Amino acid sequence: MQYFPIFLDAQQLQCLVIGAGEVAARKVELLCKTPATIHVVAPEACDTIKQLVADNKVQFSQREFNETDLEAAQIVFVATNNSTLNAQISAIAKAQNILVNVVDNTPLCSFITPSIIDRTPLIVAMSSSGTAPVLLRYLRQKLEALIPANLSILASLSEKFRDRVKATFSNVNQRRHFWEQVLESDIAETALAGKVEQAEQALAHRLAHPDEVPAGAVYLVGAGPGDPELLTFKAIRYMQKADLVVYDRLVSKEILELVRRDAEKIYVGKKASLHSVPQAQINQLLVKAAKEGKRVVRLKGGDPYIFGRGGEEVQELIEHDIPFHVVPGITAASGASTYAGIPLTHRDHAQSVVFSTGHLQDGSINLDWPALVQKNQTLVFYMGLTGLGIICQQLIAHGMSADMDIALVQSATTPQQKVVTGTLATIQDNVAKANIQPPALIIVGTVVSLHSVITT
């Protein structure tokens, strides 16, 4: 390890920055996140530095560098566009044992700056020792996605309870075990969701009853329309934490692959020729597992609150006092719209969009048809494949032109995606010929005409 990582206390730190172009500005902006005193020396300053000077964030000397500038400095950043000058300053600083960094010139540096993931007070600093900046950037991107944005709240929580935990457990191992349990539990998720007071109460309870089974929780997670890359960071995090995953038909195999390996998985969707598990039974399953202390992920296609019965499940959880979090997902209408190149609204076509069920009940679809037949409006029907004939017939009967554009999108966002277009009069034939299978979404409106123009 040629480079030794340390964290400098910036409270009393005197920084000198020589150069005030955009490269210097990036360092200065970073330094401005700390309480360090920053002195910038350069004959000219870029707009970013000028703004920081105007905001009183830095002290600026508009002139050439001279050696006396180093007198007050403990660390120096050099970023002029004169390489000879950069080398000279580096040599002088090193001779005076002042830490020096010449931006983008590792051999002239006595220290190099890490790549940073800032979740203050938690800071991750990484380096490739100056050898592989692209690899480092790649790694940082991966980690940024993995480390929750609100981690700082969790860090503050542990700081606040540190002394109380110490007083409760005299033994280091016991303390470590306690914190590990807290981080794995729903207390951490509650804090990360920004519900600090609730998290503090739960933590205090845990501390008072360390031998109780930690409370379980249910995470209602929107899995999106199929493409695993459309999952949110939060969805992935919960999936990786789950003890039990309860999923239905619309959740793709590729998405299930991303669930924690040793999590138990229960399928509650329709099996061929069988009915799906009744909703009441699913609700009971979620409540029972959470009461046993399990972290349950209820994985649903699209968004849990759009034709997903998420509302009903949450009501049940509230009744039983089970902690829960809901993660929105990309709903099928959004997925189908973008992947099929059919914008749902468009200045020239539609100023509103209606999401409707197309589900048949007793052979008919009970909808406010006159409200649906409006100009400049896009209609999206979920669960409408079986009722397609009735939908077209009712729209025409209520005044929509039989020539109105309509599209069916099968398995949107997946490799099985198929798009069939036509008019209210022709679509049924086209759908039959294309052998469209569920899940399929229906889009009605002149926006459908854009499908042939917009290819994605």
Nearer to ligand SAH, 202 or 235 (CB): 235
Q: Which helix (H) or strand (E) holds 123?
A: strand 122-126
**Taking CB under 6 A as the rule, does residue 16 contact ligand SAH?**
no
CB of 158 within 8 A of CB of 122?
no
* DSSP, res 238: H
**Taking CB under 6 A as the rule, does residue 191 contact ligand SAH?**
no
- Rounded to the nearest angstrom, the gap between the alpha carbon of residue 41 and the centroid of all alpha carbons in its chain is 40
Region from 40-48, 149-157, 313-321, 331-339 binding ligand SAH, contact rule CB under 6 A: 331-339
User: Per-residue string for binding with ligand SAH, 278-307, x by CB under 6 A?
Assistant: ----------------------xxxx--xx
Q: Which helix (H) or strand (E) holds 22?
A: helix 22-31
Given candidates 440, 443, 444, 447, which one binds ligand SAH under the rule CB under 6 A?
440
User: Per-residue string for binding with ligand SAH, 229-258, x by CB under 6 A?
Assistant: ---------------------x--------
**Taking CB under 6 A as the rule, does residue 80 contact ligand SAH?**
no
Amino acid at 285: L
In angstroms, the CA 280 to CA 191 distance is: 30
Given candidates 19, 148, 216, 226, which one binds ligand SAH under the rule CB under 6 A?
226
**Taking CB under 6 A as the rule, does residue 439 contact ligand SAH?**
yes
Looking at 248, 294, 300, 405, which residue is catalytic?
248
Beta strands in 162-239 (DSSP E): 217-222
Nearer to ligand SAH, 58 or 409 (CB): 409
Active site residue 270: yes
Nearer to ligand SAH, 19 or 308 (CB): 308
Looking at 33, 166, 270, 271, which residue is catalytic?
270
Q: How far is the CB of 362 from ligand SAH (least distance, A)?
A: 18
Phi, psi of 423 (to 5 degrees): -115, 170
CB atoms < 10 A from the CB of 287, how many?
20
Q: How far is the CB of 345 from ligand SAH (least distance, A)?
A: 18
CB of 339 within 8 A of CB of 314?
no
Active site residue 234: no
Amino acid at 292: E
- Rounded to the nearest angstrom, the gap between the alpha carbon of residue 246 and the centroid of all alpha carbons in its chain is 22
Nearer to ligand SAH, 216 or 302 (CB): 302
C-alpha Rg value of the chain to the nearest Å: 30
Phi, psi of 140 (to 5 degrees): -65, -45
Q: How far is the CB of 227 from ligand SAH (least distance, A)?
A: 9
Q: Nearest CA to 392 among 437, 428, 349, 419?
A: 428
Residues found near ligand SAH in the complex (CB under 6 A): 225-226, 250, 300-303, 306-308, 331-332, 335-336, 382-383, 409, 411-413, 438-441
Residues catalogued as catalytic:
248, 270
